[in-house]
């Protein structure tokens, strides 16, 4: 899915949100995206990328009052698309265990890499197509 298609999809998903007319996401460059509701920062996603660009670690922060509207998912989807376009083949994402959103990461293609009592570490790997 290219960025234009992704933007169209995300726009249709936002219809009916309480923030519909005042919500927007902008690229802040350098694998960073910022979501704003009006002038208020709602959340941001960013990544630390390895020197060769093949691996990245994603981070995301979202203010709790903006949770459950798809803003965090949109931030992650845009960041993942950006990282894949850049050439990242492995993306990791770590969250506290008490977070409920495991299905979101699964839907984005992540699998659990490891976990302990406090943290779950997810990994996404580029699918290499094999010739049949």
Q: Tens digit of pLDDT for each residue in 93-128? A: 998 887 767 778 888 899 999 999 999 999 999 876
Assigned domain for 20 exists: yes
Residues 44 and 75: beta-carbon distance below 8 Å: yes
Residue 98: which CATH number?
3.40.630.30
pLDDT of the residue at 113:
94
Lowest mean pLDDT among 2-16, 35-49, 64-78: 2-16
pLDDT of the residue at 41:
93
Assigned domain for 102 exists: yes
Kindly give, in sequence order, each residue whose CB lies less than 8 Å from that of residue 74, ignoring residues fewer than 6 positions away: 10, 13, 25, 35
The total of structural domains in the chain comes to 1
Instruction: Report in angstroms the alpha-carbon separations of 98 from 80, 93, 94, 115, 120.
Output: 23, 15, 12, 12, 9
Bridge partners, 45 (sequence order): 33, 60
Assigned domain for 31 exists: yes
Assigned domain for 131 exists: no
Assigned domain for 92 exists: yes
pLDDT of the residue at 57:
93
pLDDT of the residue at 2:
57
- Calculate mean pLDDT across residues 65-71: 83
Assigned domain for 26 exists: yes
Q: Give the domain range for residue 84.
A: 3-125
Assigned domain for 130 exists: no
Assigned domain for 121 exists: yes
Q: Which two tokens stand for residue 69?
A: 């509207």
* Structure-model confidence comparison of residues 99 and 40, the more confident one: 40
3-class state of residue 98 by DSSP: coil
Give me the percent of the chain exceeding a pLDDT of 70.
Answer: 80
């Amino acid at each position: 899915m290219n960025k234009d298609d992704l933007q169209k999809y995300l726009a249709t998903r936002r219809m009916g949100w309480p923030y519909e007319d005042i919500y927007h996401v902008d690229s802040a460059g350098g694998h960073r995206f910022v979501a704003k509701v009006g002038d208020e920062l709602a959340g941001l996603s960013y990544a630390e990328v390895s020197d060769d660009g093949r691996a990245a670690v994603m981070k995301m922060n979202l203010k709790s009052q903006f949770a459950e509207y798809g803003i965090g998912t949109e931030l992650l989807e845009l960041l993942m698309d950006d990282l894949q376009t850049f050439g990242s083949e492995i993306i990791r994402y770590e969250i506290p265990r008490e977070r409920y959103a495991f299905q979101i990461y699964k839907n984005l293609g992540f699998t659990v890499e490891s976990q302990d009592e406090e943290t779950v570490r997810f990994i996404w790997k580029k699918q290499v197509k094999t010739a049949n």
